[in-house]
Amino acid sequence: MSITKKSILIIVAVLIVDQVLKIIVKTNMLLYQDIHVLGNWFIIKFIENDGMAFGFDLPGNYGKLSLTIFRIIALIGISFYLKHLIKIKSPTGLIVAISLIFAGATGNIIDSVFYGNIFSESTPFAAATMFPKGGGYGSFMHGHVVDMFYFPILRGYYPDWIPWKGGDAFEFFRPIFNIADSSITIGVLSILIFQKRFFAEAEEVPEASVADSE
């Protein structure tokens, strides 16, 4: 299988899994509902945010719109960079990492751009419906990103001797995230961990190979 096909397969697979899980959660769970999968260590918790990763958001309509536009511009940049990496036959690991980042960014952008139009509002009292008769809960590019994975592995209290935080409760891992967030994180960490290897291999690509790919 060519690296182009591998890249497309990764992107399509991540998007399908991400969107299917989000639709299942949004149409079957109440907002803020918990489903304990492994005790208190692994919880499916349905929340929504305005588009930033791991449950964070940017308040206000203009903040939401600005964030969505920025993400779309960034996604276009990533797509051109990915195409360039494939063209010059960059290391497979680097292309896979960028493909994961692209897929994750696309997954969350789909929520932000379209979910407001195609879903009714999720509340703590009623699950959302898809394509409601009265229209969606928001306008184009003002949808909320669906998050669901919650791993509060460690819970406790800060020691009293820690300034400002002593006695306060702490929790690890607090952020709630989705498949798209995970895809972005895996891609970024792969680049950070293997950057020397990726870019060393890129420098070793013969110029003839680059020319052949054009």
Tell me if residue 111 is catalytic. no
The answer to whether 191 and 94 are in contact (CB under 8 A) is yes
pTM, full prediction: 0.84
Choosing from 18, 50, 111, 181, the catalytic residue is 181
Q: What is the pLDDT of residues 118-171, one digit of tens each?
A: 999 999 999 999 999 989 999 898 899 999 999 988 878 888 788 877 778 877
Mean pLDDT of the chain: 87
pLDDT of residue 68: 84
Question: 3-state DSSP helix/strand/coil percent for the chain, to nearest 5?
Answer: 55, 15, 30
pLDDT of residue 213: 44
Choosing from 111, 147, 160, 212, the catalytic residue is 147
From the number of C-beta atoms within 10 Å of its C-beta (0-12, 13-18, 19+), residue 201 rates as middle
Q: What is the pLDDT of residues 19-54, one digit of tens each?
A: 999 999 999 999 999 999 988 889 999 999 875 555
Cα of 183 vs its chain's centroid, Å: 6
Q: What percent of the chain has pLDDT over 70?
A: 87
